[in-house]
């Protein structure tokens, strides 16, 4: 009996450790994608006739990563990670602003380049964080409603449904918050539709990720 209990405790400890490791990896990936996408948003590129902010290429992954956090750690943890990412992105922008304000060393000739690239455009920063918080929190609630009231089967469906609702909201808040009145309306709508199309495509590609973590 003692041996059986000991073996069961060992299995439980191993499961808990694996669960914790998966949680660390998924949360880290989510935060990293948020940071990289916010930095990338400072670049507006021309892709297949669309004006696209650089963050669009990696930010869509955060929706599926958020779903993975939700599945693995629960709704409360997902909300906590969302707010943590918002605070981290705000602190990152403030840090870049601080570095940009520091006088350069006499032999360092890249001050203007550093400021041009990394000194935050606060309107873009605020629009980005506002879009992230609103859309990711909505994604959390839609995901929760789906798994608690609709079905726990077809896990790909919970990702597809929650993302399909939160993605347009995210793009709408960010594009018009960051560029409305600054760029011509047709350019802003171009950025919006490019954002939505790329995010939807990324969602379809990243759907299998939900099966990589355990949970309900």
What's the rounded Cα separation, in Å, for the pair 200 and 178? 21
pLDDT of 147-169, one tens digit each?
999 998 899 999 999 999 999 99
The DSSP bridge pattern shows strands 50-53 and 44-47 to be antiparallel
Q: What is the b/e burial string over 12-43, where b = at least 16 CB atoms within 10 angstroms of the residue's CB?
A: eeeeeeeeeebbeebbebbbebbebbbbbbbe
Q: pLDDT confidence of 15, banded at 50, 70, 90?
A: very low
The pTM for the full model equals 0.84
Please give the Cα distance from 67 to 69 (Å, whole number): 5
Task: Reply yes or no on whether the pLDDT at 12 is more than 60.
Answer: no
Summarize pLDDT for 50-106 with one digit per residue, the tens: 777 788 888 889 999 999 999 998 999 999 999 999 999 999 999 999 999 999 998
Q: Is the pLDDT of residue 14 over 60?
A: no
How far from the centroid of its chain's Cα atoms is residue 165's Cα?
Answer: 15
Report whether 49 contacts 197 (CB < 8 A). no
Domains contained in the chain, number: 1
Q: In Å, how far are 1, 143, 209 from 68, measured between CA atoms?
A: 38, 11, 7
Average pLDDT of every residue of the chain: 86
The DSSP secondary-structure symbol of 104 reads P
Q: 154 lies in which domain range? A: 2-212
Tell me how far apart the alpha carbons of residues 119 and 96 are, in angstroms, rounded to a whole number.
6
């Amino acid at each position: 009996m003692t041996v059986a209990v000991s073996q069961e405790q060992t299995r439980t400890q191993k499961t808990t450790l694996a669960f914790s490791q998966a949680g660390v990896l998924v949360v880290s990936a989510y935060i990293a994608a948020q940071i990289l996408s916010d930095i990338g948003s400072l670049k507006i590129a021309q892709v297949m006739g669309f004006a696209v902010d650089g963050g669009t290429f990696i930010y869509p992954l955060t929706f599926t990563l958020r779903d993975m956090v939700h599945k693995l750690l629960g709704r409360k943890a997902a909300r906590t990670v969302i707010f943590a990412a918002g605070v981290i992105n705000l602190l990152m922008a403030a840090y870049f602003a601080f570095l940009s304000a520091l006088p350069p060393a006499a032999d360092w000739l890249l001050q203007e380049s550093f400021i041009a690239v990394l000194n935050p455009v606060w309107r873009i920063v605020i629009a980005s964080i506002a879009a992230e918080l609103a859309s990711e929190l909505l994604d959390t609630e839609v995901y929760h409603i789906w798994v608690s009231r609709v079905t726990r089967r077809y896990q790909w469906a919970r990702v597809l449904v929650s993302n399909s609702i939160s993605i347009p909201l995210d793009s709408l808040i960010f594009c018009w918050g960051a560029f409305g009145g600054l760029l011509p309306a047709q350019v802003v709508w171009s950025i919006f539709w490019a954002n939505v199309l790329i995010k939807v495509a990324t969602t379809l590609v990243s759907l299998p990720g939900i099966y990589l973590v355990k949970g309900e």
